[in-house]
Amino acid sequence: MKQIKKTLFLIAIGIFFVRCSSDDKRLLLADKWYTDTKTEILSQSSKLKPDSTTIGFNKDSTFRREHLFYQGIEFSTKGYENNSNIMRLEFFFSADHNFELRREICKDGKFRFEGIFYKGNAFGPSSSYHCNGQLSCQEIRFNGQDIGTWKTWDEEGNIREEIDYKNLEKLDSLPIIDKQ
């Protein structure tokens, strides 16, 4: 009986470590997916020079968006505070327009948020920052759904919260960008 309990305990520990290592592998692959997808989006959009631009304003004209097009297809959007010309956001689109790299920018030019969207929904890891440069939040999404462990920090870098939404197995089916 004692031997059976010991064997069951060892099996349980083995399953725990296999689960942890597969989640760790998923997170590493998700980070690689993010880096590769971001690189490809930027590569595809940087090859293009706009042949037309449209400009739109919010209701009170304090914010403007410039939509850059090449042969009728939008490849980038930039958003500016209209009174100061400070860029506050930029979006880059893949050639097939399925993928989008979104960035929000602080007044001093540092990134406030960076993440990848596929067909309009957030996918993979993303990061948010306080405008002082400190990490604010690290999160993972799949088709807009919160998954994995989300961590948040205050402006001094102290951890505020950690929530595990689980479902990391969804990372096994992240969408793949077409290489151009």
| pLDDT at 134 > cutoff 50 | yes
For residue 90, being part of any structural domain is answered with yes
Give the domain extent around 159: 2-173
Q: Is residue 180 part of a domain?
A: no
Share of the chain above pLDDT 70, in %: 88
What is the DSSP secondary-structure string of the chain?
-HHHHHHHHHHHHHHHHHHHHHHHHHHHHHHHHHHHHHHHHHHHHHT---SEEEEEE-TTSSEEEEEEEETTEEEEEEEEETTTTEEEEEEEE-TTSSEEEEEEE-TTS-EEEEEEEETTEEEEEEEEE-TTS-EEEEEEEETTEEEEEEEEE-TTS-EEEEEE---GGGGGG---PPP-
For residue range 88-102, what is the model confidence (pLDDT) as tens digits? 999 999 999 999 999
Among the ranges given (6-15, 18-27, 115-124), the one the predictor scored with the smallest mean pLDDT: 6-15
Quick check: is 167 in a domain? yes
Mean pLDDT of the chain: 89
pTM: 0.84
Number of domains in the chain: 1
Q: Is residue 178 part of a domain?
A: no
Kindly state whether residue 12 falls inside one of the protein's structural domains.
yes
Quick one: average pLDDT of 116-126? 97
pLDDT at 160: 96
